[in-house]
Structure 1
Amino acid sequence: MKYKQINNSLFIKNRENLKHLLTPQSVAIFHSNDEFPRSGDQNFLFKQNPDLFYLTGIDQEQSILLLFPDCPNPLYKEVLFLRQTNDYIKVWEGHKYTKEQAQQTSGITNIYWLEDFDNILHSIIHYADHIFLNTNENDRYAHTVPYRDIRLITELKNKYPLHKYERVAPLMRQLRAIKSDVEVSLTQKACDITKDAFNRVLRFMKPGVMEYEIEAEIIHEFIKQAATGHGYNPIIASGNNANILHYTDNNQQCNDGDLILLDFGAEYANYNADMTRTIPVNGKFTPRQRDVYNSVLHVLNESKKLMVAGAIWNTYHEQVGEIMTEQLIKLKLISPTDVKNQNPSYPAYKKYFMHGTSHHLGIDVHDFAGRYTPFAEGNILTCEPGIYIPEEGFAVRLENDILITKDGNYDLMDNIPIIAEEIEEIMNA
């Protein structure tokens, strides 16, 4: 990994928090993600399972965490299993954790090689009543591939059919939504790297450049600052491309007079930033572009005020919809009559602002959290209103990352240029 080692107190505390939520006499098992083939002899870059990383800090394939707080053998209350290196792996793949390095990274004392997992598990599992297993329960995920966690369920139920099997994902959803100070600092680092990449783009942008050239400027800054890379596929959408919500072709020329929507964020130490800005290709907003831009910025600023502990998801989004409705009427995109006659299940504003305003952010860009759980202190959420006008050939979306605290909320991207005049000043300096 490129990032600096994280103090293992984070992972020790995370494990302790989980142990307090486990049913007595329970074993919990977490696997690293699978390695996925990219071609005949290559894999895609490995991305660690977020729950395993959250609990151990281990950023390596073929790793397993076993937690059994009530285990009668103290050696196996907390065990980490790793892939053992050899001369072949050293030559072809390079560094793998030693036991000592894994202890230092995770704070786990008992480290074994992967080949010992089955024997150790079998020696203790009959002293447990419950087996907590992990699966991907992010409600944005649709299960189609039998990944490692799914395969383990089948395997263990065949071997140990009379145990009580439990889902650990609801416990992780409860824990991961509340960010510790260390997690906030790592997210802030990702945001700061994203800021520098955006400032680089502002100085680089001019008519005639290609969208992929902008993408190259961004990744240059990310890697230069030890980010892993993009937290998600970047959207570099000029002109009418911005009206495609998940546009990632990034292969068109940026034309004089157009706006370009930039949605990107750095990943640092597995924590992510998620930012959107919309800027004029030639460094100057037209009057109409500026009006729409300022309306979106107004919705962003007003929405941020609603992001407080205790706020309810649906109520929050309804309130944002009311703010957006006012701005769309002001821009003459919808009329009061449209609002009066609107379908309550699909309000008039949805024609120009069709997606949600916020999602949780963390180890996953769309982080694991309860969609129906009120906002809480320690949540980090995006705030990303937009107005999409295909008939006028442009769209504006703005997005910052917001931390909710006991004293209100704190904008982790408050130092990234967003005022129209400030953007024009930087671009024309």
Structure 2
Amino acid sequence: MRYEPIDKELFITNRKRMVKELKSASLAVFNSNDIMPTSADGTMPFHQNSDFFYLTGINQEESILVICPDFPDKKYREVLFLIEPNEMLEKWNGHKLTKAEARDISGVETVIWLSDFHKWFHHMMAMGGVEHTYLNTNEHYRSDVVVESRDSRFIKWCRATYPLHRYERVAPIMAKLRAIKQPQEIELMQKAVDITGKAFKRVLGFVKPGVMEYEVEAEYIHEFVRNGSRGHAYTPIIASGKNNIVLHYIDNNLKCKKDELLLLDVGAEYANYNADLTRTIPVSGKFSKRQKEVYNAVLRVQRAAIKMMSSDVVYFDFHKKVEKIMEEELLKLKLITSQEIKNQKPGQEAFRKYFYHGTSHMLGLDVHDVGNMYAKMALGSVWTVEPGIYIREEGLGIRLENNVVIQKKGVLDLTKNIPIEADEIEELMN
């Protein structure tokens, strides 16, 4: 692995917190992700199931965690199943975890080879006094997946094999737990943010008229990898000119031109945790008067939004207040009029022409992390703050995004050391 070893106490604590949420006489199963195919014999880079990693720290495919807190034999209350290393497998694909290594990473003492899973699972289901079987699914509110996952296949098999058992959903429990970051998780996210900041500063010294968007992307990945990241936390958005009014522009194939803006929505991954940063910079190294005017309006909205964030705030109420602040800024910019505001209808507000996305989302092991958007912002939860103004008629789009932790008093801005003031960006570019 590229990252520094994580203290196994994090994963031990996470499992203890999860067990407290289970009903008595329960068994819970968590699967690793599959290695996904491309075509022919090609595969995508492996990315671990976030829930599985959260509970084990294991970054290996074909792995299963079974937790049965009330099992009579304490040795089998936590069991990790792993693929058995063999000489041929390691010749082709490299090292696989030994039982001792898996124990050191996860803190799970009982590790059994995956080839014995069905025998042991049947023993646990039959002899463990199991009344509630918790199975995992992807219940993310933005999920639209048609590919069958390892979890989905396991659910089918389990229901067919044990049709009379009582099944429960573990996804809501995991979402509740993962929304509140432990101090060690915050440290890992800070590392991802710091790597992102280093890359952004590198890009500030690289961008000039004539460079290609994909060349800028390459500067980011260079700095990410050399600092221990596996790469981008998500598909990078390197959007120059008219592309920066497109929220998820990912082609990154145009030439950056003089007098244009370059919107950079790019974050590093570190130890499976993610940063999500957006900055908008002038290709020429200096903002025009109009560009700076709009830029500072977005920055004021962001700073006002950050000041409003607390554990007493519900996200959707917060977002509505941000929209009102944005409305005032758009009025000052003469993009909307008082008459338009007076005549607007709910859902068709004048500001929506120029600000048409949410202010924030949760961040963690997933870029759009799990959690309840209708609940109050939990202490220890991590959020993005990313207002933007997109003026199609001017071919001008600006978004600024920071990552903050909700604390008892205000927030901790993980991105506070990354340049954001227009004057500072100009100075660093020149």
> What TM-score range do you get, normalising by the shorter chain?
over 0.9
Runs of 4+ in 1 over 4 A off after TM superposition: none
Superimposed CA distance per residue, residues 44-98 of structure 1 (whole angstroms, 9 cap, x where no aligned partner): 0000000000000000000000000001122210000001111111110001111
Q: CA deviation at 1:38?
A: 1.2
Superimposed CA distance per residue, residues 264-317 of structure 1 (whole angstroms, 9 cap, x where no aligned partner): 000000000000000000000000000000000000000001111120122101
Q: What SS does the corresponding residue of 1:66 show, helix, strand or coil?
A: strand
* Counterpart in the other structure of 2:365: 363
How many residue pairs get aligned? The number is 428
Q: What SS does the corresponding residue of 2:217 show, helix, strand or coil?
A: helix
What is the rounded CA distance, in whole Å, between the counterparts of 1:400 and 1:264 in structure 2?
11
What is the rounded CA distance, in whole Å, between the counterparts of 2:67 and 2:386 in structure 1?
38
Superimposed CA distance per residue, residues 124-151 of structure 1 (whole angstroms, 9 cap, x where no aligned partner): 2022001000000111101312211111
What is the rounded CA distance, in whole Å, between the counterparts of 2:160 and 2:373 in structure 1?
34
Match of 1:399 among 391, 398, 401: 401
Match of 1:417 among 394, 413, 419: 419
* Counterpart in the other structure of 1:300: 302
- Aligned pairs (5 A) from 1:266-345: 266-345=268-347
List gaps (5 residues or longer) in structure 2.
Answer: none
Q: CA deviation at 1:228?
A: 1.2
What is the rounded CA distance, in whole Å, between the counterparts of 1:352 and 1:328 in structure 2?
8
Paired letter, 1:163: H
* Counterpart in the other structure of 2:143: 141
What is the rounded CA distance, in whole Å, between the counterparts of 2:145 and 2:238 in structure 1?
29
Structure 1 window deviating more from structure 2 (306-315 vs 417-426): it is 306-315
What is the rounded CA distance, in whole Å, between the counterparts of 1:373 and 1:312 in structure 2?
6
What is the rounded CA distance, in whole Å, between the counterparts of 1:200 and 1:42 in structure 2?
33
Structure 1 window deviating more from structure 2 (305-314 vs 322-331): it is 305-314
Superimposed CA distance per residue, residues 140-190 of structure 1 (whole angstroms, 9 cap, x where no aligned partner): 101312211111111111111111100000100110000000000000000
* Counterpart in the other structure of 1:88: 88
- Aligned pairs (5 A) from 1:30-429: 30-126=30-126, 127-428=129-430
Paired letter, 2:4: K
**Alignment check: 8 A CA contact 2:188 2:271 kept:** yes
What is the rounded CA distance, in whole Å, between the counterparts of 1:251 and 1:345 in structure 2?
35
The TM-score normalised by the length of structure 2 is 0.99
Paired letter, 1:104: D
Q: What SS does the corresponding residue of 1:204 show, helix, strand or coil?
A: coil
Q: What SS does the corresponding residue of 2:205 show, helix, strand or coil?
A: helix
Superimposed CA distance per residue, residues 1-23 of structure 1 (whole angstroms, 9 cap, x where no aligned partner): 21111000000000000000100
Paired letter, 1:89: L
Superimposed CA distance per residue, residues 316-372 of structure 1 (whole angstroms, 9 cap, x where no aligned partner): 011000000000000010011111111212321111000000000000000011121
What is the rounded CA distance, in whole Å, between the counterparts of 2:410 and 2:378 in structure 1?
10
What is the rounded CA distance, in whole Å, between the counterparts of 1:101 and 1:124 in structure 2?
24
Q: Is 1:18 equivalent to 2:18 in the alignment? A: yes
Q: What SS does the corresponding residue of 2:389 show, helix, strand or coil?
A: strand
Superimposed CA distance per residue, residues 205-234 of structure 1 (whole angstroms, 9 cap, x where no aligned partner): 100000000000000000000001100000
Structure 1 window deviating more from structure 2 (415-424 vs 402-411): it is 402-411
Superimposed CA distance per residue, residues 91-130 of structure 1 (whole angstroms, 9 cap, x where no aligned partner): 1000111100000000010001101111011012022001
Paired letter, 1:267: E
What is the rounded CA distance, in whole Å, between the counterparts of 1:396 and 1:77 in structure 2?
52
**Alignment check: 8 A CA contact 2:316 2:373 kept:** no
What is the rounded CA distance, in whole Å, between the counterparts of 1:271 and 1:239 in structure 2?
31
Structure 1 window deviating more from structure 2 (412-421 vs 136-145): it is 136-145
List gaps (5 residues or longer) in structure 1.
Answer: none
Aligned-pair RMSD on alpha carbons? 0.7
What is the rounded CA distance, in whole Å, between the counterparts of 2:59 and 2:124 in structure 1?
27
The TM-score normalised by the length of structure 1 is 0.99
Q: What SS does the corresponding residue of 1:157 show, helix, strand or coil?
A: helix
Paired letter, 1:188: Q
Q: What SS does the corresponding residue of 2:406 show, helix, strand or coil?
A: strand
Q: CA deviation at 1:249?
A: 0.3
Q: CA deviation at 1:376?
A: 1.4
What is the rounded CA distance, in whole Å, between the counterparts of 1:88 and 1:394 in structure 2?
56
**Alignment check: 8 A CA contact 2:275 2:403 kept:** yes
Q: CA deviation at 1:427?
A: 0.4
Paired letter, 1:359: H
Paired letter, 2:67: L
Paired letter, 2:91: V
Paired letter, 1:279: I
Percent identity between the two aligned chains: 53
Paired letter, 2:202: R
Q: CA deviation at 1:39?
A: 2.0
Structure 1 window deviating more from structure 2 (81-90 vs 319-328): it is 81-90
What is the rounded CA distance, in whole Å, between the counterparts of 2:314 and 2:43 in structure 1?
42
